[in-house]
Chains A and B, each alone.
Chain A
Amino acid sequence: MSPKATQKNRPPVSQINEQGAGGLAKDILMTLDRVTKTYIMGEVTVEALKETSLDIYAGEIVVILGPSGSGKSTLLNIMGGMDQPTGGEVYFGRENLSQAGDARLTAYRRDSVGFVFQFYNLIPDLTAGENVELAANLVENPLSTALVLKDVGMETRMDHFPSQLSGGEQQRVSIARAVVKNPRLLLCDEPTGSLDYKTGRLILGLLAAINKERGSTVVIVTHNAPIGAMADRVVRMSSGAVVEIMENRDPLPPEKVEW
């Protein structure tokens, strides 16, 4: 890869604020350095990520925006240790994840990452409470299951099975499941994608509250541009590359976000 191409895919220098949001010096939680991802599908090679570089700061809310096929989910998957990059480096703190094996990536997901999916992916055979407890059992110092469920407003529904819950309720349980491990990084893939406007806003409110109260770094991937208004930073992606990183000095509270 030529330096020119690298240059081309990096966001304009003026837009990178090493000080982080609000101008205060922030710790870098994760670094993606010239990360590429290519898929070979039959006879076609698809470049899902072209040399993409991005830093994620501890404690911020980042919204990654982009249309379908822009590479935002691929980026999220690599950040979450669900997928390995074809090229480039991924650092979580000082650890290089791009060289990590399956066991190490599993440990990383277990200890440091919480996932929230568009389709919730709850275990159908466990009640809401048990779904959260299952995740809590994975780490040494989890938060209290009851407390987390109370935080997401599901304390009265904890004995219900996923099939007995609405989409919004399932997503709340899914957030509780991600949060109970007290992860440093909360990754959300289209968390409002299957929800109505009102419920979607409620979910965003929960994510913002978790960020504020627990200090978790929250990365939200969405194609819904107005959600960017609640972020500390907005990363725009297109055709497998970061095209813009915008700092939002005055994020809106989620209840004021409209779409």
Chain B
Amino acid sequence: MKDAASMMPEPETFGIVMVPHNQAQQILDLSGQVNQVVIKLAPGTDEKKAAEQVKVLLEPYGNLADYPRKQQLSDAILHMELEQLSAMAVFLPTIFLGIAALIQFVMLGRMVRAQRLQIGVMKALGYSNPSILLHYTGYALVAAVAGALLGSVLGVIFANLFSSVYAVFFNLPQAIGGINFKAIFYGFSLSVIVGTIAGLTASRGVISVNPAESMNPAPPKSSGRIFLERWSWLWHRFGISWKMSLRTINRNRFRSAVTLIGVVLAVAMLVVALFTRDIVDYMINRCYFEEQRYDYMLRFTTPVKETELFNITRLDGVIKAEPVFEIPVRIHFMELVREDLVLGLPPGVSLKKLYSPAGKIQDIPGEGLLISETTAKKLHAKPGDKVTVETLLGLGPSHLSEIKIAGVNRQLVGGCSAISLASANRLLQESSLISGAMLKTDTGQAALLEKKLNEMTGIASISSRQKELDSFNKKLGYMVYSITIMISFAVVLGFAIVYNSSIMSFTERKRELASLRVVGFTTGEVSGLLLKENLAQLALGIILGLPCGRFLAHAYINAVNTDLYTFQAVIYPVTYVLSALGGIIFIMIAYGLAVKGVKRLDLVEVLKTRD
């Protein structure tokens, strides 16, 4: 990473070359000199104390600043990525394993209940309760082991696939991964434990039935009034089919809840997956088009007089040039200290805009500091407070000045405090100096202009907005990849739950649906009844899923926000619409399955068989 203002690494324009230090000294003609000391502390050392001692030691040589590792850009970025990964590694499996366990419980329960008659026969023949329990638990175990085997094979394949992508992303020399036996062991154990418990709980209820009773048809499912019926003015407005659907949902509370959880999670995960796209879109727009309105930022090797700007303004292709003075500083307030960058900008600057935390454009004050929000928070300083600014420019001595905070500015990437150009010069006891220039250019002449700028002496670096954007867009490939993974998970999850529960619901209600058909309901009318149930679940799923997704998105943002990056939890309305649409698709698939079943319903067959 070049600096905190870059959103992504740009290997095309910035890199670090490692050479033996004596060679570097020779090349730069600075023999026997160093400009940076890297320190590794022994375990258990008091970091602050050590830093203080080093500071005292290096003071005579012009010690400018010291950074603990966690404040270093590369470390911060890597940490952020790793934290995101480990958050995902907990978040996703927890949801998936929980849902898988739920499905197993529901499915086995349903299967054992459907085998009531067989259980009765087994008991009548003389099988003991433990042997029946063993039979069904054995079944669950076989399924669990088979699932674990298949899961392990798929897991190894996916893990290698993912790690090769991570290897590319983190620029690792070779793919990480291989076979994680610990994970396989955990997977097997979990699968077997859940399977056993599900098998035991499912068969427990049925074996308590005596054989004669279990061979009789099951009594009608007991239904009852639901809470909505307390408001009779409302309840009477519902047609009979709505009453039926609502009571069915209530009677099958557990299964309905599972379906609901499925829809809620799927919708919420879609919100989280899609909102990352919103943030990036928002951040690009905010950083590259609203805050930063210049096409090029030039930085000079040493500060120059403002009049030098004229030489740049007259270059072909430059529409407008505005000066900037960047000064690394240390800001003191009360007992607290923080390193920051002060940006000196001319009054009425048009190529760089600063925003207040509330999102309003702020003018550069004639007097006073427009402190960055992160610094203000660290120092517990607020507008009106007076802070001491210590300059850390590599040239000349440090200067201390007291300055009043005029306002707070929020920048999404990097973030620095701003001041008027004149005040910046006063900090250094200079006048009319600038350290760089912001250019607005004619895009048609960009290539030629860039060439000319590159030939000019005294220019240390040229950052091009277009190049940054291009490199950013290239990097978006990875983001699309992770969004795709999230969306696929959401789809698989939503589908698995909704599919299972609708198949179960249909199987359990075949008889009821067949009797409706016999009474004279058309397949369309019976499907309509099922649709009402699905719609009720869908509505609730979306109503709960969208805020749940919003909550997760905020939690995610809070987890990944660092000193460097301030992500805004921006969720565009279209994200909500698309997520809701996802929920609708899942429910409609479930509905489609049920309708297919209703059409195929063999009335005679269903009504002949006993429950």
Contact = CB atoms under 8 A, between A and B. Distances in A.
Nearest to B514: A121
Contact of A117 (B251, B512, B515): B515
7 contacts: A82-B603, A119-B217, A123-B515, A125-B248, A126-B223, A134-B240, A170-B220
Contacts of A115: 518-519
A106 B601 CA distance: 13
A109 B518 CA distance: 7
Contacts of B604: 74, 77, 82-83
B521 interface: yes
Given A109-B518, A126-B247, A121 B607 contact: yes
B240 A130 contact: yes
Contacts of A52: none
B520 A110 contact: yes
Given A106-B522, A161-B220, 11 more contacts: A82-B604, A82-B607, A106-B523, A109-B519, A123-B512, A124-B512, A125-B243, A126-B244, A134-B519, A161-B222, A162-B223
A133 B243 CA distance: 12
Contacts of B603: 77, 82-83
Chain B interface SS verdict (over half): helix
Interface string A161-172: 111100000100
Nearest to B599: A102
A123 B219 CA distance: 12
A185 to B, nearest CB: 12
Interface string B579-611: 000000000000000000000000110011010
A137 B240 contact: yes
Contacts of A164: 222
Given A83-B604, A125-B251, A109 B520 contact: yes
Nearest to B249: A125
B474 interface: no
A163 B223 contact: yes
Contacts of B608: 73
B240 A126 contact: yes
Pick the most buried of A83, A125, A135, A162: most chain B CB atoms within 10 A of its CB.
A125
Interface string A70-95: 00011001001011000000000000
A181 B240 CA distance: 16
B607 A103 contact: no
B224 interface: yes
Contacts of A133: 240
Interface in A137-194: 137-139, 161-164, 170, 177, 181
B220 A163 contact: yes
Nearest to A162: B220
Interface string B188-230: 0000000000000000000000000000010111111000000
Contacts of A106: 517, 520-523
B410 interface: no
Contacts of A111: 520
A85 to B, nearest CB: 12
State the 8 A-B residue pairs at the shortest beta-carbon distance, nearest first. Answer: A110-B520, A163-B222, A121-B515, A125-B247, A162-B220, A124-B221, A109-B520, A125-B223
A231 interface: no
Contacts of B440: none
Interface of A: 73-74, 77, 80, 82-83, 102-103, 106-107, 109-111, 113, 115, 117, 119-126, 130, 133-135, 137-139, 161-164, 170, 177, 181
Contacts of B240: 126, 130, 133-134, 137
Pick the most buried of A73, A119, A121, A162: most chain B CB atoms within 10 A of its CB.
A121
Interface string B516-546: 1111111100000000000000000000000
Nearest to A78: B604
Interface of B: 217, 219-224, 240-241, 243-244, 247-248, 251, 511-512, 514-523, 603-604, 607-608, 610
A138 B516 CA distance: 11
A28 to B, nearest CB: 23
Pick the most buried of B240, B521, B608: most chain A CB atoms within 10 A of its CB.
B240
Contact of B223 (A74, A83, A103, A161): A161
Nearest to B216: A194
A18 to B, nearest CB: 31
A124 B519 contact: no
A127 to B, nearest CB: 9
A124 B520 contact: no
Nearest to B246: A125
A166 B348 CA distance: 88
A58 to B, nearest CB: 20
A126 B223 CA distance: 8
B519 A138 contact: yes
A83 B514 CA distance: 13
B505 to A, nearest CB: 13
Contacts of B243: 125-126, 130
B222 A135 contact: no
Contact of A163 (B221, B514, B515): B221
A181 B511 contact: no
A126 B516 CA distance: 12
A191 to B, nearest CB: 14
Nearest to B603: A82
A36 to B, nearest CB: 16
B281 to A, nearest CB: 47
B221 A80 contact: no
Contacts of B516: 123
A117 B607 contact: yes
A163 B512 contact: no
B609 to A, nearest CB: 10
A106 B520 CA distance: 5
